[in-house]
Structure 1
Amino acid sequence: MKFVSLKMRNWRSFHGEHEIVFSVDPERPVTLLLGPNGAGKTALLNAFTWAIYGEFTEGFDHTDRLVNLGASEIDPSAETFVEVRLQHESDEYSVRRSTNASRQVTSDYDLVVTRNGERAVEADIHRILPEPLKDLFFFPAETFSTANVLKGDRGGEGAAFDVGRAIRSLLSGDIYEHASDDIRDAKKSSTLKVPSGGQGQEAVNLARHKYEQAEANLDAVTERKDILPQLLLKAKTLAAKAKSEADRYDPNEIKKWSDKNTRLTKLVTDAEQIVVRADALYVDLSRGSHSHMAQFVCESAIRRLDLAETAGLMPPRIHESVLEKSLETGCCALCRTPLDDQTKDRVQKLRDRVGDAQIAVRGLEARTTLKQFLERRGTEADRLREEVEKLAVELKLDPPPKEASIKILASVVRSCITVSSSLHRQAKQDLDDFVTESKFERPEIGESPIELYINAQDRVNAISDELTGIHVKFDELKKIHDDALKNLEEKSGQSVEHMQKTKALKILTDAKGYFDAARQGLNEFGREDFERAINETYNDLIAKPYVVKVDSGFGIRVKLTEGGATVPLSQSEKVLLLIAFLGAIARLAPHYEEIAREGQQLAMTGNVETSKRTGFPVVLDAPTSPLDEEYEVDVVQALPKLLPQIIVPVSAKSVAVWEAIADKVGKAYVMELTSNQTSNRTVTWGGKDHTYSINHPEVSSARTRIALLG
């Protein structure tokens, strides 16, 4: 899919009618729009989202004032419209949304969608660009500064993007969710309600009551589990906005609180990792115990084979055929000397002791294999001793002796587990105490932004903790529900009606389990594809020995390729990761759309290979604004390699950096700003000066004109 053009009239600062034709050349994928502050770069981004979704990006203000103020002053009934044309496979679509000065206040608008010139519906556009992609493919400048896709040290920190939902929407995975919801509603219908038994049916009544209670409890926790990711997403967005406000209010105080929170949280994370290391070491030692016992058997076998070799039996010093011929002829087969009786007896005994040559060779091979096993076992034992010693020293415990046995190593590791678990409990308690002590009463409007941020972050942490624990609670209630249904089925055996309804409930429960598992499977397979794709896009942007890891909740961590240690990223590196994050989703989009069209979601997801040649377009508003000069150059040079179409509104302050990739810019425009609040400026592109902003004392409402740079 590619955007062909965007046409608009009287849209925000854009007075009159304007059209932008985008570059569709994959060799020159960048469409660049240079504009000063106030010219409408964010308004241009929202022209896309309003036309396609009827919505706006987070933080876009005055959504009830879409018609250009100058146009509405001239004509109170002035209309605004935005029309986006896009090419998808062999079809061309157009979506046009319009309103006027009076209707914009109530969000009233007209919508016209066409496909190949014939009337279509909004759903046709949303099948190509599902609504969950809005915040991923149309990215405002301020989000580059506040968004953080990294998974924080606490579960509540990280990306304010629902990647799982975006992936499910691309794969049409909502059908599984809808099917599961429909089955849940069907199970509640009066038709399947097991009636109360009469006299003598107390056991059935009790079983029915327990099942209905278990069903209600499971439904409640399921609904909560399904809604928590959205609540967390909203809480993260509010916390990011609150932090931005708090930083502007008193950066020192909020940094002080954040630093302590980060330090205590890191202590919890470090303690958790040590506990995991200790547990893993204990498992490794347990698995290696059998090889420890086998060591003595192997050493004994090697000694016996060595004795056989010393005795000349393996391999034999005299081949068995020589001895047999000597006995047969009565003469030495080598020197032809006749053998007397005593010599014949000695030759016969030697023949009896010499093994078959093939068996001797196998004996040598067996000894080599046994020695190799002991060598590998020794290497593994040395590694375990080194790891145990390192962990013990880290926990300030006495390390094991240099040649410690498996039994002694296991004893030391058990001590490490005890100490590390205690440290983890203490670190968690310290963090919980700090969070509790730093809680404020819910502030009234107008109170300290710092208090607002702390409360917002507490909300994020609380929802994250609930989300972590609710999966365990769900599993417990699911088992209680299944046991209650089984009990009801057994108790209903005496009534045909009871038995039929409980069997129907059992069938529906199994079907719901299938659809729930299918939805979870899509998430996991999508995670695998996303992890592979984001590593490719991140490597395209930053040449460092890093690997990106994505967990089951689509939380992201950046680690060293060797050693696996988590890498603390600078703000510039976080922006690069964010761009890689967006690029990964855009590269997956066309593949997932094809998989959904073919109905192969569960068969093909998880094995998708992405490339720079395929991907949906993205609109990035000033993506390099938070970057320092070094990373700005790297990102600008890497962006053309990210996707086959990228639309970038930026200011002209770094025009030289962008002109360095002029051969990758298929279309370039300037957003000329006219206002009594700006100055007269020009921008140089392609060796020519172009009007950038104009000071006009009679123009109080900013006016922007789009001009092609050629």
Structure 2
Amino acid sequence: MRILRLKLKNFRQFYGECELKFLSDDTSRITVIHGENGSGKTSLLNAFKWVLYGKTDFDTGEQTILNELALSEIAPGAVTELSLELEFEHEGSTYSVHRKQEFKRTREALEAEPIGKSVPTLSWIDERGKYETAKNPANRINQLIPEQMHSYFFFNGERIEKLANVSASGEIRDAIKTLMGLEIIDRASDHLGRLVIKDLSKEASETASDDYRNLLEKSERINAQVDQRKLERDTATKSSKGFQTELDAINASYEQIADVKAKAEQRRSLETERSTIESELEALSQTRMQLVSQTGALAFLSDSMTSVSNMLEECRKKGELPYKIRRTFIDDLLHDAECICGTKLQEGSAARAALEGYRDQATGEDLESAFTDAVSNLRAMPRERNRLYGQLSTWSAKENDYNKRRKAISEELDEISSSLGSSDIEDVKRLEERRKELTRLQAEEQMKIVIANEAIEQLNEELSKIRKEIEKVQSKSQKEDLARQKLEFAEACKSLIDSLHEALAEETRHHLSTKVNDTFQSILRKDFYAEIDRDYTLRIFKDVPGVGKQPVSEKSTGENQVISLSFIASLVNLAKERNKAKTTFFKGGVYPLIMDSPFGALDREYREKIAQHIPDLADQVIIFASNSQWSREVDEKCRPFIGKEYSLVYHAPKSKGREEDTSYVKRTDGPEYTKIEEGYLGH
């Protein structure tokens, strides 16, 4: 996909008709749109989302997307419209997406209500010059760029660091599933489990013996409970995400209020740190469980090690283990029929009989090897046990430090919440009350998810036991046997599909993790490395001398932003690879990256590093940046690759003490609006 043009009419700050044209080729793949805060950079980012999907990320949803100046020009009761048109090229065809929304002005000052839903249309001219229109535009658009993936291609750079939080693991897993087209496999598994197996189970029970029928009915009841628990889990997950969206909006509102901005930013930083600590504690617990399961027995083998060592030593002194003569040596003498002293070993001779007697006492290679291994392992066990104790002690101390820091963070967060809750600013007090309520509700939903997962695990264990019992029940007739075979075949197919799902997801996770690390290490100035772990969490590690791989617990906002950006760049790259591969499932695609404020939380060196890599992130990159973010270093790195450049000139209402104009801000007597001017107006 290559974006060619975006036309706006009365959308948010953009009054009347405005147009942006984009240039993208091998040398000019970057478009930069400059603008100060409030000029409409985020509105333009949302314009892409609205024209494609009819949705935005604004706190007020789609209720305030109509331009105020356009609204002021019509009388109460009159109707006006806003519209967006996006033109892009994809696999040789040129597409045009158009979406409009009519509004009716109410009697209230500068307020309007939408008339019906927004109406999208999609048309295209294919590579042969044939013009076509889509009967189902939404479905066709979703095939071109899946809605689940759009947030990775059109994103707010100041918010992407949240991908580095543990809570984002579900988003990363969903992105991998979409990228691999695993929804198709999910649907196949669901169809088999919910319909086919259910019908075949009913058919089998009709011809079955009482024992077999009872087991099938029990299995059906448990499967129904599993489905119910999964539904509860999915509902709770959806609710939790909804609460998180509202929490993010409240946090963003805080950061717009000057009097509490510092506290809000401090709280965001503390919550990120707490989330990281909880992730590290979970990882520490898993690693410790793995070590204990592998070597925990060493803690209880002190007496046994001593006893076995003494027994082996006694056997060694007696010459029993290992025996002084090897069996293979005697076999060679018997084969040659001659002793090393020259005595002939004829069949039936006393000398041969004596040697054959020694052969029965001699040590075999397997026994001697086992003896050597046992002695070697016994000598190593005390050392390994001490190492186990040392590692457990180190982890316990680390866990204690984490818990202390987590407690301190919770206390700091309580103080901030108390301070905001007692603020003299009524809006702040109201926001904090709502935030507390949302936090409580989200915690309840998270607990529901945990309970549902535990219940599903227990129910699956019961199902496994029932399947083993079913295998023991003998068929009573040929008809019953056929019905059972069909059911078992369907269950085997579902199991195979589920295994395929896991294998493809794991393969993609590993491949994507390698790409993320390559990008991450090329940008970061520290000797760290990144990976997507088995829980689909973005994590940063370092090698500690004498200890080995250790997680980085206190990541800066910049490091979180770098690893999140590395993940997004890797997604874009992997989608491009899959587009070339023309796979059976999701065919991938060549997607642009549209980034709002990608340099916001970074210091000068990080900005320069990321700017250096931006041309390599995607075939087309569109950047929205303020002057403070578009530093000299960033400009120097990106300038050779810039094909188009625009400046957003914000016309702000006049206010007392703020009458002066700048290159990017002009004063007006009416409602605010923004004009798009081609070129860069400079700092």
- Residue number in structure 2 paired with 1:63: 62
What residue in structure 1 maps to residue 557 of structure 2? 571
**Residue in 2 that maps onto 1:23:** 23
How many angstroms does 1:535 deviate by? 1.2
Could you tell me which amino acid in structure 1 is paired with residue 497 of structure 2?
F
Q: Secondary structure at the match of 2:568?
A: helix
Q: Which residue of 2 aligns with 1:95?
A: 97
Residue type of the alignment partner of 1:137: F
Per-residue CA distance 1:486-517 (angstroms, 9 max, x = gap): 65687683366655544443333332223333
Q: Is the 8 A contact 1:96 1:111 kept in 2?
A: yes
Give the structure 2 partner of residue 587 of structure 1. Answer: 573
Q: Hey, what's the Cα distance between the residues in 2 that align with 1:378 and 1:195?
A: 59
Query: 2:222, 2:459 within 8 Å by CA — same for their partners in 1?
Result: yes
- 1:558-637 aligned at under 5 Å gives the runs 558-562=540-544, 563-567=548-552, 568-595=554-581, 597-599=582-584, 616-637=591-612
Pick from 145, 162, 165: which aligns with 1:129?
A: 145
Closer, same or farther in 2 for the Cα pair 1:454/1:243, shift >3 Å? farther
* 1:704 corresponds to 2:679: no
Helix, strand or coil at the partner of 2:38? coil
Q: Counterparts of 1:194 and 1:592 in 2: how far apart (Å)?
A: 42
Deviations 1:270-317 (A, max 9, x none): 59737844862673587999999999999x99xx9xxx9xxxxxxxxx
Alignment of 1:29-44 (within 5 A): 29-44=29-44
1:598-631 CA distances to partner (integer Å, 9 max, x unpaired)? 3178xxx9xx9xxxxx962111111222334443
Q: Say which of 198, 221, 227 aligns to 1:213.
A: 221
TM-score w.r.t. the length of structure 2 is 0.70
Corresponding residue for residue 643 of structure 1: 618
Percentage of identical aligned residues? 18
DSSP-derived class of the 1:666 partner: strand
Residue 131 of structure 2 is matched in structure 1 by 118
Q: In structure 2, do the counterparts of structure 1 residues 204 and 271 end up closer, same or farther at CA, with 3 Å as the change threshold? A: closer
- Distance in 2, matches of 1:40 and 1:632, equals 22
1:671 and 2:648 matched? yes
Aligned pairs for 1:543-562 (under 5 A) are 543-562=525-544
Instruction: Give the CA deviation at 1:659.
Output: 2.7
Whether contact under 8 Å (2:51, 2:120) holds in the other structure is no
Separation in 1 of the partners of 2:231 and 2:531? 29
Distance of 1:549 and 1:181 partners within structure 2: 31
Q: Is contact 2:182-2:585 (8 Å) kept?
A: no
Confirm or deny: 8 A CA contact 2:165 2:272 kept in the other structure: no
SS of 2:623's partner is strand
Matches within 5 A, 1:463-482: 463-464=445-446, 467=449, 470-471=452-453, 473-482=455-464
Change in Cα spacing, 1:651 to 1:554, as seen in structure 2 (3 Å) is same
Counterpart residue number, 2:331 = none
The range that moved more, 479-488 or 121-130, is 479-488
Q: Structure 2 counterpart of 1:131, which letter?
A: E
| 1:558 Cα deviation from its structure 2 partner | 0.9
SS of equivalent to 1:23: coil
After superposition, residues 426-575 of structure 1 pair within 5 angstroms as 449-450=431-432, 452-461=434-443, 463-464=445-446, 467=449, 470-471=452-453, 473-484=455-466, 493-494=475-476, 500-562=482-544, 563-567=548-552, 568-575=554-561
Q: Which amino acid aligns with 1:237?
A: T
Question: How far 1:53 sits from its partner (Å)?
Answer: 1.5
Match of 1:108 in 2: 118
1:704 deviates by: 2.0
* Structure with bigger gyration radius: 1
- Deviations along 1:156-186, one digit per CA (max 9) or x if unpaired, are xx32862222222233221111122222332
Bigger drift between 640-649 and 451-460 goes to 451-460
Q: Does 1:184 align with 2:155?
A: no
- Paired residues for 1:90-489 under 5 Å: 90-102=92-104, 104-116=114-126, 118-121=131-134, 122=137, 123-140=139-156, 143-144=159-160, 147-152=161-166, 158-159=167-168, 162-187=171-196, 193-194=202-203, 203=211, 206-225=214-233, 229-244=237-252, 266=277, 270=281, 273=284, 276-277=287-288, 280=291, 283-284=294-295, 385=386, 388-389=389-390, 391-392=392-393, 449-450=431-432, 452-461=434-443, 463-464=445-446, 467=449, 470-471=452-453, 473-484=455-466
Q: What is the distance in 1 between the residues matched to 2:251 and 2:118? A: 34
Q: CA deviation at 1:132?
A: 0.4
The aligned counterpart of 2:354 is none
Task: Provide the C-alpha distance between the structure 2 equivalents of 1:149 and 1:389, rounded to a whole number of angstroms.
Answer: 34
Distance verdict in 2 for CA 1:374–1:583, change over 3 Å: farther
Deviation at 1:379, TM superposition (A): 9.2
- 2:62 & 2:311 partners in 1: Cα distance? 80
Closer/same/farther in 2, CA of residues 469 and 378 from structure 1, 3 Å limit? farther
CA contact (8 A) 2:215 2:470 kept: yes
Secondary structure at the aligned position of 1:214 is classed as helix
SS at structure 1 position matched to 2:162? coil
Structure 1: distance between partners of 2:271 and 2:10:
50
Residues 652 and 665 in structure 2, CA contact (< 8 A), matched pair in contact too: yes
What secondary structure is seen at the aligned counterpart in 2 of 1:82?
Answer: strand
The 3-state SS of whatever aligns with 1:494 is coil
Find the residue that maps to 1:580 and give its secondary structure: helix
Q: Among residues 81, 106, 110, which one is paired with 2:83 in the alignment? A: 81
One-letter identity of the residue aligned with 2:676: R
Preserved CA contact (<8 Å) 2:531 2:539: yes
Pick one of 664, 675, 682 that aligns with 1:693.
664
Residue 44 of structure 1: CA displacement?
Answer: 0.8
CA contact (8 A) 1:619 1:647 kept: yes
- The alignment's C-alpha RMSD in Å is 5.3
What amino acid does structure 1 have at the position aligned with 2:517? N
Q: Closer, same or farther in 2 for the Cα pair 1:12/1:160, shift >3 Å? A: farther
Alignment partners' CA distance in 1, 2:272 and 2:604: 31
Does the C-alpha gap of structure 1 residues 262 and 68 become closer, same or farther in structure 2, counting only changes over 3 Å? closer
Counterpart of 1:410 in structure 2 is none
- One-letter identity of the residue aligned with 1:59: F
Structure 1, gaps ≥5 residues long: 153-157, 309-369, 397-415, 609-613, 683-691
Cα distance in 1 between the residues matched to 2:85 and 2:390:
68
Other structure's SS at 2:159 match: helix
Write out per-residue CA displacement over residues 199-224 of structure 1, whole angstroms, 9 at most, x where no aligned residue. x9754653343233122123223434
Partner of 1:350: none
Change (3 A) 1:197 1:55: closer
Residue matched to 2:362 = none
Q: What's the offset of the Cα at 1:33?
A: 0.5
Contact kept in structure 1, 2:615 and 2:641, CA below 8 Å: yes
Inter-CA distance 253–3: structure 2 relative to 1 (3 Å threshold): closer
Contact 2:607 2:634 in 1 (8 A): no
Which one-letter code corresponds to 1:553 in the other structure?
Answer: D
> 1:359 is matched with which residue?
none
Q: Distance in 2 between matches of 1:531 and 1:694?
A: 44
Superposed displacement of residue 135, structure 1: 1.7
Aligned mates of 1:237, 1:512 — CA distance in 2 = 35
